[in-house]
Structure 1
Amino acid sequence: MRKRFLALVVVSMMLFAMACGGADSSGTTEFAATESKSSGYDSFGLTDSGDYEAYEEAGYSNESDSEVDVDLEEYDTSRKLIYTSYINLESKTFDDDVAAIKDLVTSNGGYFESTSSYGNEEYGSRSASFTARIPSDKYEAFMNSVGEVGSLASKSESVDDITSSYVDVQARLKSLNTKLERLQELEEQAENLEDLLEIEDRINEVQYQIESYTAQKKAYDDQIDYSTVSIDITEVATYSEVKADTAWNRFVEAFSSSFAGFVAFIQAFVIAIIYLLPYLILIAIILCIIFFVRKKKGKGFSFKKKDKKADQS
C-alpha cells in the first residue's frame, strides 16, 4: 500500500513538471512573437538593429537581382573630357595684346577666374597672368585665336577623361536616393523611440552622402562645360628666336650673352654712380674745404718763420 502511494506521488510530480515546461515554452514563444511584432520591421524582414544593419549593407536583399544590377542606359555615359592648357606669349605692344586677350575671352562666352599684372610701363618690363574659363564648344577656336596674339613662346595642353568617375557618381546618387526612400518608409513604421532614433541617424548619414556626391557632380559639370586656360604674357623689345642647336649658334649665343652681361654691368655701374653722385659731391666739397684750410694755415706758418728770421738778423 505504501509502495503504491509513493509511485502515485512520483507520477504526479513528473506530470506537473512536464506541464510547467510546456507552459514556459509557449510563454517564451508568445513573448518572441510579441517582441517581433512591436519592432515594426516585420514587413521588411527586420527584427532587431543587427538585422537592420545587415539589411542596409546587403543593399536591401528584398530587391530582385535585376534591380540591384547597374543599368548603364539610365545614366549619362557620353564622353566627359576636361581640357586644361597653358600659353606663354611675348608682346611688343603690351597694352594692345592684353586688350585683345580680354576681347577673345568675352567674345567666346568665357570669363576670367583670376588676373594679375606686374612691372611698369617706364622700364618696359611689364607682364600679366590670366586664368580664363572657356566654354568647351569654343575651346578649339579660342586656342587658335589666342596663339596669334603677340608671339607664342610656349604652349601645353592636357585632357582628362572622367567618364567612368562621372557614371560612378550618378550610380551612387541613385543608390543613395533609393536607400533614403526606404529609410523614410521604415521611419514611418517605427513604433518605439530607440528604433526611430537609429533610423534618423542613418537618414542623416545618407543625406550627407547625397549632398557630397551632388557637389562633386556639380564640380565635374563645371570642369566639363568650361575648359581652363592659363595665359602668361610678357612685354619684350625683341621676340625670342628659335635656332638650331649647332656649335656656331652656341658660340654666337655665348658671345651675345657675355656682351649683354658686360653692357648690363656698365649700365649698373653708371646707375650706381648717378645714385651716389650727391654723396660724392658732398665728400668733394668737404675735402676741398679741408685742403683750403690746411693750405691757408701752412702759409701763415711760413710767414711767421720769415718774420722771426728778420728779427734775429
Structure 2
Amino acid sequence: MLSITNEGGSDMKRSFLPLFAAGLSLAVLLSGCGASSGNASQATASAAAYQEMPAATETAVDYSAGFYDAAAPAAENYDMDYGSDAAAGETAAPSGEGAAQQAADTQRKIIRHANMTLETKAFDEALREIESLVTGSGGYIESQSIDGQSLSYRGDYYERSASIMARIPAEKLDEVASQVGTLCNVVSRSESMDDISDTYFDAQARLETLNIQEERLLAILEKAESLEDVITLESALSDVRYEIESITASLRRMDSQVTYSYLNMDLREVLEYQKISDQPPAFSTRLSNAFAEGIDSIVVSLENTLLICASAGPVLVVWLVILGLLVCAILLIVRRVQRRAEQRRAARNASVQNARADQPPAVNIPPKEPEDKVK
C-alpha cells in the first residue's frame, strides 16, 4: 500500500501516479532505441531505472517493501512456444547480457534463398515429381504459375514454362535441391543468405523490456485510487500491449523465414537439353554455326511464308471473288450510263434534224444593182 509521508499527500499521490506511468513509458522508449547491441541488457538497465525512481521521490511517497519484488517475476525470458522453433530444435535466448551475447553468437538467424533454372523434356511429369519432393520433405508450394501451350501445336513448337516458389525446411534444402537436379537438367543454380540475427535478438530484448513494463503497470494499476490515474495507466498499458503483439508477430514471421528456406525454380520445357561446355568453341566452329543458323533462318522464313500463303489462300480466294463481283457490277453500271447517254444524244440530234426538215426552203433573191449603174 502507498503511505503519504508529507503534508498534502493526497494531492501528491494523485499527481505522482500519472507522472510515474509517463516515466515508465519514457524509460521503455529509451531502452528500445538503445537495443542495437543485440542482447537483453536493456531489460536490466530499465529495471535499474525503475528501482531508482522511488529513491528520487521518497520525500513524497513511501513505497512499501516488496513492491518491486512482486514485479520482479515479470522479467522472465522470452520463451514463447513457436511451432517453427520447436521444429528446428531451437530454444529461446536467456535474459542477461552474457547469455544474450552467447545466443547471438551460437544461434545465428539466417534466411536462405536458393534459385534454380531447370530444363525438362517431360514437363508434366517433372512438375508432379517436384511437388512430391517438396511435400515429402515437409515443405509446401507457396506459389506456382505455368505459361505456354502444348509442346506441338499444328506442327509448331511451343515451349511451356513454370515458376515455382517452394518453402523447404532449412535442414533439407540442399537435399531437395540435389534431388530436383536429378529429375531435370540444371542450367544454373545460385544461393544467397540473409543474416537477421541482430534484428531478431534486438526484438527479443525489446520484448523482454515490454513484458517487464506491462507487469509493473498492472501492479501500479491495482494500487490506483482515482479515476484519472486508472485512465492514464490503462492508456499506457494499451500502448505497451500493442507493441508486445507487434513484436511477437514479427518474431514469429522471422522464425518462419529461418525455419523454412526459399527455393525458387524456373522450369522450361525443351526438345533438347542445353549443352554446357567448359571451354568456348573455336572461331571456325562458331563461324560454321553462325552460317548454319543463317541458312536455317532463311529456310524457316520461306517455310513460314508458304505456310502463311497456304493458310491465307482460302481467305484470299473469297476476297478475290467478292472484288471481281464488285468490278463487274461497276462496269455494268458504267456501260448502262454510257448507253443511256448515247441514246439521249442520238435522240437530241434526231430532233434537231427533224426541225430543220419542217422549215420551208429558202428563196434566192438576186442582189439589187446600184442606181448609178442603171442610169
Length-normalised TM-score, structure 1: 0.72
Q: Is contact 2:17–2:224 with CA below 8 Å preserved after alignment?
A: no
Q: What's the counterpart of residue 19 of structure 1?
A: none
Question: Secondary structure of 2:111's partner?
Answer: strand
Q: What's the counterpart of residue 117 of structure 1?
A: 146
Q: What's the counterpart of residue 251 of structure 1?
A: 287
Q: 1:264 and 1:176, CA in 2 relative to 1: closer, same or farther beyond 3 A?
A: farther
Question: Secondary structure of 1:125's partner?
Answer: coil
Question: Secondary structure of 1:228's partner?
Answer: strand
The match for 1:37 among 13, 21, 26 is 13
RMSD: 2.9
Runs of 4+ in 1 over 6 A off after TM superposition: 287-294
Larger Rg: 2
Q: What's the counterpart of residue 22 of structure 2?
A: 53
Is the aligned partner of 1:218 residue 2:252? Answer: yes
Question: Secondary structure of 1:148's partner?
Answer: helix
Query: CA–CA distance in 2 between the matches of 1:109 and 1:55?
Result: 45
Q: 1:113-192, aligned counterparts within 5 Å?
A: 113-121=142-150, 122-123=152-153, 124-192=158-226
Q: What's the counterpart of residue 133 of structure 2?
A: 104
Q: Please state how far the C-alpha of 1:53 moved relative to its aligned partner.
A: 2.3
Q: Please state how far the C-alpha of 1:95 moved relative to its aligned partner.
A: 2.0
Q: Which runs of 5+ in 2 are unaligned?
A: 1-5, 28-45, 53-74, 76-94, 332-375
Q: 1:110 and 1:249, CA in 2 relative to 1: closer, same or farther beyond 3 A?
A: farther
Query: CA–CA distance in 2 between the matches of 1:223 and 1:112?
Result: 14
Q: Is contact 2:24–2:213 with CA below 8 Å preserved after alignment?
A: no
Q: Is contact 1:70–1:171 with CA below 8 Å preserved after alignment?
A: no
Q: 1:38 and 1:95, CA in 2 relative to 1: closer, same or farther beyond 3 A?
A: closer
Paired amino acid for 2:50 = N
Q: Please state how far the C-alpha of 1:48 moved relative to its aligned partner.
A: 5.5
Question: Secondary structure of 1:191's partner?
Answer: coil
Query: CA–CA distance in 2 between the matches of 1:63 and 1:50?
Result: 15
Query: CA–CA distance in 2 between the matches of 1:287 and 1:34?
Result: 107
Query: CA–CA distance in 1 between the matches of 2:103 and 2:300?
Result: 61
Q: 1:188 and 1:256, CA in 2 relative to 1: closer, same or farther beyond 3 A?
A: farther
Query: CA–CA distance in 1 between the matches of 2:288 and 2:202?
Result: 58
Paired amino acid for 2:272 = T
The match for 2:261 among 209, 212, 227 is 227
Q: Is contact 1:82–1:161 with CA below 8 Å preserved after alignment?
A: yes
Q: Is contact 1:133–1:226 with CA below 8 Å preserved after alignment?
A: yes
Q: Please state how far the C-alpha of 1:237 moved relative to its aligned partner.
A: 1.3
Q: Please state how far the C-alpha of 1:249 moved relative to its aligned partner.
A: 4.5
Paired amino acid for 2:10 = T
Q: Which runs of 5+ in 1 are unaligned?
A: 1-28, 40-46, 295-313
Paired amino acid for 1:276 = A
